[in-house]
Chains A and B, each alone.
Chain A
Amino acid sequence: DAGVIQSPRHEVTEMGQEVTLRCKPISGHNSLFWYRQTMMRGLELLIYFNNNVPIDDSGMPEDRFSAKMPNASFSTLKIQPSEPRDSAVYFCATSRAGQGGDGYTFGSGTRLTVV
């Protein structure tokens, strides 16, 4: 199993540009989570999906952020337009849905720098 695959690993973009982060979950994991990590705020939940359906997007900072999961094998997190304060490491994590208690498997993250 290749684990949770995120791309790109690093992204440097100019303020105002659109950024798209991608995640391929582990096969059979039907819960998918997007987190953002910074030194100041730690690991913050942005949005999560269950069976491709967004369940809770209350962590999405503002309308500039959007996330989709068109099928069980792929999810995207888009920022448009990007701002310097969006600079962070963005993680995708997946788990098997159920009664809870399954650990999350995280991807290696995308380090985003907006200049």
Chain B
Amino acid sequence: DSGVTQTPKHLITATGQRVTLRCSPRSGDLSVYWYQQSLDQGLQFLIQYYNGEERAKGNILERFSAQQFPDLHSELNLSSLELGDSALYFCASSPMTGEDTEAFFGQGTRLTVV
């Protein structure tokens, strides 16, 4: 158990809908990262938050947004869903002390858009 909790584990929704994925980082970790793993694009970095502020942005679509709350949990919002958004979405956390040698991953949320 990595200590990172993601909910829900599975999500099935229709095209055009909006969903929210939730992540609770390891206790004490200030930084949260979101990654998307799809069959055609592999693993891609989406966005990083550090202590409530956006720190880095990757290949995140405009239809997607994220935030990190004061209690450090994070949510990834996906809207106007398309079939191609079906993927495994990972959240990871790290303390970001400058010597991090590992990011701890949650079990992922498998999103299926039908």
State yes or no: do A and B come from one complex. Answer: no
